[in-house]
Amino acid sequence: MHTQVNELFAHLWQNYLTVTPSADKIHALLGSSQQNDVLNDHIALRTFNLEKVNLDKLAAHFLALGYVECGEYHFEAKKLYAKHFEHPDANQPKVFISELLLEKCSPELQAIVSQLVEQMDPEAVTADNFLYSGRHWQLDQAAYRTLLAESEYAAWLAVWGFRANHFTVSVNALQNFETLDSVNQALKQAGFALNTSGGEIKGSPEQMLKQSSTLADEVMVEFSDGSAMIPSCFYEFARRFPGADGNLYSGFVAASADKIFESTNAR
Ligand code: OOG
Ligand code: NI
């Protein structure tokens, strides 16, 4: 079971690196001179709530590996719903999966998204490689722009498809950094831009979770009618605090997550 979990995350990481050149550099910056590899707190995936590809379809891949559903989150303004999953081995990354609630979106957006998802092979969603399989449809720049005007999330998903949209470093497990602020300072000194929506640091010790993230890299994307620079994926940093029971909090904080989503906004 563990081998399969490790293999899945290795594939997700390799796929993430192909569109996130800064991640390798940040991984080296934080992990260099520490004995163990950087520990991942969690990853996140995005999807549409259409029957063919909804949150449960993505979650099934993790449930099959022993993951358990642990929390749910609502994002009214962004029209998103999310759940998080944990593995019985607390050293395995947590998983945050969100879905766009299409019935709350405009008929125009719904029509574009349906037309994209219709192009998918119905078998694709259960294939072993689905969670790092990327985009399964043709997309032109006009459709991308239309989605972007209404939902940055929809536009991102239309371009990038199914993949980890970020990995998250567990700051608790770093040997060379104690605080999230010291991580942020090192990142800024090395020239990486942070997501400042809601402040550089989201959350507090009282909420038992403090988070920060880079702004997504921008890479060249091929559309069916040309290419353009588009935000890809970002890197997140999380420090967890113990609750009354002495255990580190293992959930997410909706108000902070709401701002973390904006890490894929264009610069
Ligand atoms: C997920 C944003 C939320 C967190 O740690 O709160 C999140 C996303 O951008 O898809 O990852
Ligand atoms: Ni996250």
pLDDT, tens digit (0-9, with 9 covering 90-100), for 49-64: 999 999 999 999 999 9
pLDDT at 68: 98
Q: How far apart are the CA of 96 and the centre of ligand 1, in A?
A: 7
230/159 Cα distance (integer angstroms): 9
pLDDT at 71: 98
Q: Is the pLDDT of residue 230 over 90?
A: yes
Could you tell me which of 22, 15, 24, 36 has the C-alpha nearest to residue 175? 36
Best mutation site among 81, 213, 260, 264 for ligand 1 pocket (most ligand atoms within 8 Å of CB): 260
9/168 Cα distance (integer angstroms): 12
pLDDT at 2: 82
Q: What percent of the chain has pLDDT over 90?
A: 97
CB-based contacts of 90: which residues, under 8 Å, 6+ apart? 250
Structure tokens, 178: 């104690």
pLDDT at 1: 58
Structure tokens, 107: 């008929």
For the chain, state the CA radius of gyration. 18
Q: Which residues pair with 74 in a beta bridge?
A: 81
192/212 Cα distance (integer angstroms): 12
The answer to whether the beta carbons of residues 213 and 235 sit under 8 Å apart is yes
List residues near ligand 1 (CB under 6 A): 44, 46, 96, 98, 165, 211, 236, 252, 256-257, 260-261
Mean pLDDT across 10-19: 98
pLDDT band at 190 (very low <50, low <70, confident <90, very high): very high
- What is the per-residue burial (b if ≥16 Cβ within 10 Å, else e) of 38-48? bbbbbbbbbbb
4/9 Cα distance (integer angstroms): 9
Q: Is the pLDDT of residue 242 over 70?
A: yes
- What is the per-residue burial (b if ≥16 Cβ within 10 Å, else e) of 77-86? ebbbbbbbbb
What are the chain's domains?
2-264 (3.10.180.50)
Mean pLDDT across 8-32: 96
Q: Is the pLDDT of residue 134 over 80?
A: yes
Q: Is the pLDDT of residue 233 over 90?
A: yes
pLDDT band at 125 (very low <50, low <70, confident <90, very high): very high
186/209 Cα distance (integer angstroms): 20
pLDDT at 35: 82
pLDDT band at 159 (very low <50, low <70, confident <90, very high): very high
196/26 Cα distance (integer angstroms): 18
Residue nearest to atom 3 of ligand 1 (CA): 257
Mean pLDDT across 176-183: 96
CB-based contacts of 148: which residues, under 8 Å, 6+ apart? 154, 155
Could you tell me which of 39, 128, 45 has the C-alpha nearest to residue 83? 45
Atom of ligand 1 nearest to the CA of 252: 6
Q: Which residues pair with 228 in a beta bridge?
A: 221
Cα angle, residue 262 at apex, residues 257 and 263 outer, rounded to 5°: 100
Q: How far is CA 203 from the centre of its chain?
A: 18
pLDDT digits (tens, 9 = 90+) for 59-103: 999 999 999 999 999 999 999 999 999 999 999 999 999 999 999
Give the β-pairing of 218-223 and 209-213: unpaired
pLDDT at 54: 98
Structure tokens, 77: 């303004």
pLDDT at 30: 95
Over the chain, what is the mean pLDDT?
97
Could you tell me which of 257, 47, 23, 60 has the C-alpha nearest to residue 134? 47
Q: What percent of the chain has pLDDT over 70?
A: 100
